[in-house]
Amino acid sequence: MVKKRQILVIGHNTNGCTPEHEKVAYDVGVEIAKSGSALITGGLGGVMNAAAHGAKDAGGLTVGIIPQSDASEANEYCDIVIPTGMGFTRDFLNALTADGVIIVGGASGTLSEVCAAYMSKKPMVAIRNLNGPVSKYIDGYIDHRENVKIIGVDSAQEAVSKILELTTA
């Protein structure tokens, strides 16, 4: 049996998530499902919900790693829910679970996941022009260690294509 590639999609939760973020995240979810990869998210609203919705609509497998201890807190598009009860610490589980990460906007929680992925040298792709604290690191590094470059792309299709190129299952 071949392991499915696990792609983490991160970005704005419900607060701050625009229709543009939702559309891009939905399209990323569709493309992940079409690639045969498993979609991993934080399992809640906003970008997480939209990406999982897109993946489900395209027949993909979705996993939500949520900060709460009650699985019912996850969005309706999660096939598998991992209720951690760990609060923000779950950001590290999300990053470590991923073979690669796609960033769709975001705020401080997204930056936390990016830093965890960066320290673990996980390949990362960020969609340009969606704002958020990660924007200033696109096509560059978080710090002087230059662990992994955050590669900028311009579309959902390009994001999935690039992350597939950078990862192995």
Read off the pLDDT of residues 14-69 as tens digits, 9 standing for 90 and up: 988 999 999 999 999 999 999 999 999 999 999 999 999 999 999 999 999 999 99
Buried residues in 9-26 as b, exposed as e (16+ CB within 10 A)? bbbbbeebbeeebbebbb
Per-domain boundaries in the chain? 6-166
Give residue-wise pLDDT tens across range 90-148.
999 999 999 999 999 999 999 999 999 999 999 999 999 998 899 999 999 999 999 99
Number of Cβ atoms within 10 Å of the Cβ of 149: 17
The arrangement of secondary structure in 6-166, i.e. its CATH architecture, is: 3-Layer(aba) Sandwich (3.40)
pTM: 0.97
